[in-house]
Amino acid sequence: MSALPEHPESIHPALWRATQLARVYGRTVDTGYPALSAQRLGAGWPVGTLIELMLQQAGIGEMRLLSPALPAVVQRRSIALVAPQQTPHALGYAYMGVRPSRLMWLTTPKSSDALWSAEQILRTGSCSALVLWQQHIRSESLRRLLLAAQSSETLFVVVRPLACAQDASSAPLRLTVRPAADGVAIEIIKRKGPVAVTPIIVKLYPSPNLISEHRRAPPRIVELPTPAVEHVAISG
């Protein structure tokens, strides 16, 4: 019987040590942020799997975080937005490099309908990217979505509240996102490799309304005059 090699992870690209970041296995899309890509798999967002983004609050820049990757995956297929908490802004996506004609926006009356729609999109491979917003998802539903994603070539992201970070999940990649100066602070709580020690500060590209000449003017600061102090002479 031959002895094991000194580096067992060299046997196959899918093998990796728990103390090391897993090597690139499968297709990835560049995140557009070198600090974040280096902490992931040394490449970018993985395609054909489940990524969880857990937000401290909605609208802190989650779509701007994904904005460098979305134009890269758009070819002849659309980008699906399922049950977003905020109404998608066509001009904002155009600024990101995604033509509004490539956007598919789905609203559903029930959470079960959103989950069913997301699973069908993944199984048919009709979209190059899928972003799903959900407040609560059962673990078995996450497993179904993961299995469907693994049979596709879709960049699949589930956006959930920060409180869900305590829940068990079958997602191979889980990140928490909190607001930070000029961007967001990202903590990787699950990945193929060791736990990230410190948060990753990602400076986001400015929003169109921040660079437009019609942007909201900053509040004026009015300095009040310093009141005069009367000096009263007191005779002895």
In a structure prediction context, what are the per-residue pLDDT tens digits for the chain, which is 236 residues long?
A: 455 555 454 554 444 454 444 445 568 888 988 888 777 555 689 999 999 999 998 888 899 999 999 988 877 689 999 999 888 888 888 888 888 888 999 999 999 999 999 999 999 999 999 999 999 899 999 999 999 999 999 999 999 999 999 988 999 999 999 998 888 999 999 887 766 668 889 988 765 554 445 444 444 444 445 545 454 454 44
Fold of 26-85+95-206: Rossmann fold (3.40.50)
User: How large is the greatest C-alpha to C-alpha distance in the chain, in angstroms?
Assistant: 110
Q: Structure pTM?
A: 0.77
Domain boundaries defined on the chain: 26-85+95-206
Burial annotation 54-93 (CB, 10 A radius, 16+ → b, else e): bbeeeebbbbbbbbbbbbbbbeebbbbbbbbeeeeeeebb
